[in-house]
Amino acid sequence: MAFLGPSQPGVLLREGLVALEHGQLAQARRDLEQARSADPNNAYISSSLAEVYLRMHEAKLAGQAARNAERLGGSNPVIAHALAMYYSEAGDAAHAATLEARYAESPRADANALSRAASFYLEAGDTQNAVTLAQKAIARQSSPANEDLLGRALEAEGKLAEAAPHLEAAWQANKIDPQIAFDWAQLLFRKPDFQAGASVIEPALAVHPKDPQLVLALGVARYGERRFDDAIAAFLKVIDIDPTIPQPYVFLARMLEQAGPRLAEITRADEKWAAANPRNAKAQSTLAVALLAADPTSARGAMLLQKSIELDPGDWQPHYELGVLFERERKYAEAAAELNRAIQIDPKQPMPHYHLGRVYDRLGQADRAAAEREIHRKLTAPGTGGGMQ
């Protein structure tokens, strides 16, 4: 074996990083493994190997290399930053946040380090640290992106009134940024103010007409405004742009009574989604309700509802849809059982209570019927949001 000179690990490290940058993973792995053999206590080599192993889908080796790098040099801000990027890609946002915050507080940090750390904390659900670092990020560098970040962190913490000025300020400063427009519109939808949300989405959408998130948001706005034809058109456009996004299928399933001549188009989209995702319960139930909208006696629709329940018994909606189907078929005992299951899963949904009241009437259980009608009345009273379900 050839003798490795004192500079050889550095040469191998540089060559490995160049190979990694160009996506030459096998070459990067060889160079970096040789560098580690020559210099086993070099934390930067181990952190670089963690990235290589991650991209090669060797999770166990990647985790070992990352832990070794942190043990050897986790106090070094540059190593902490490299590992933060690794843990972010590996799906461990909480660990990424801790390491990036360490880097952000160091003199070697770049201008966006605090923002990245805050974003990682927000992704991890640690809203308190996300807010704190986002505030520091704005103090260090005021920008629309940082205003938006602080607004999202405050919104996630439940402080909607405090979040609104930051999200609006970000949008006023950059009305065509798709993420900023989407974030401000989302808060407006929560008020709910769908008309204002639409006016926020439209300028960004004019510049980014094929951004699926913006088109989806416009569809939600039109749905909230009860402009169902426009909402259907927007959701079908989202599916055309990216058929893997689930939300448009779910929204379309709520508007089948308003679909008119577009029901066949919606059903074709649902067919493709269900076929591409045979283990996805929502995809099966969404196709089921479309089939039953076209033919209330559809045996395939009933079968798909049963399949959806088998795949995910904890979803209220297939139980509800099956209960309505049994009610239509005058199988009232079976209908009551399914509707009660839907209510047990999510008692705040108004329509299962409405149909259960009707079923109890058919079963001669007047007291139970009256109780369900009263629950439905309360859930759909103005201000409860029940009408949007």
> Domain 100-174 belongs to what architecture?
Alpha Horseshoe (1.25)
Mean pLDDT, rounded, for 29-44: 93
Domain ranges of the chain: 1-73, 100-174
The least confident of 24-38, 305-319, 370-384 is: 370-384
pLDDT reported for residue 4: 41
Is the pLDDT confidence value at 5 over 50? Answer: no
- Residue 389 pLDDT exceeds 70: no
pLDDT value of position 80? 95
Query: Average pLDDT of the chain?
Result: 94
Cα dist. 113→48, 128, 216 in Å? 20, 17, 31
How many residues appear in the chain? 389
Residue 34 one-letter amino acid:
Q
Task: Give the pLDDT score at 384.
Answer: 55
pLDDT of residue 239: 98
Band (pLDDT 50/70/90 cuts) for residue 9 is confident
User: What three-state secondary structure class fits 151?
Assistant: helix
Q: What mean pLDDT is predicted for residues 265-273?
A: 98
Cα within 13 Å of Cα(40), Cβ side: 1
Q: pLDDT at residue 38 above 70?
A: yes
Same fold, 1-73 and 100-174: yes
Note if the bond before 192 is cis, omega within 30 degrees: yes
Max intra-chain CA distance, the chain: 92
Count the Cβ atoms, other than its own, within 10 Å of residue 24.
14
CATH 3.40.1160.10 is right for the domain spanning 1-73: no
Look at residue 362 and tell me whether its pLDDT is greater than 90: yes
Give 233-261 pLDDT, tens digit per residue.
999 999 999 999 999 999 999 999 999 99
pLDDT for 10:
86
Percent of the chain with pLDDT over 90: 93
Looking at residue 388, its pLDDT comes to: 36
Quote the CA–CA distance of 264 and 250 in Å, as a whole number: 16
**What pLDDT score was predicted for residue 383?**
62
Beta carbons of 321 and 288 less than 8 angstroms apart = yes
**256 vs 246: CA distance, rounded Å:** 16
pLDDT at 386: 44
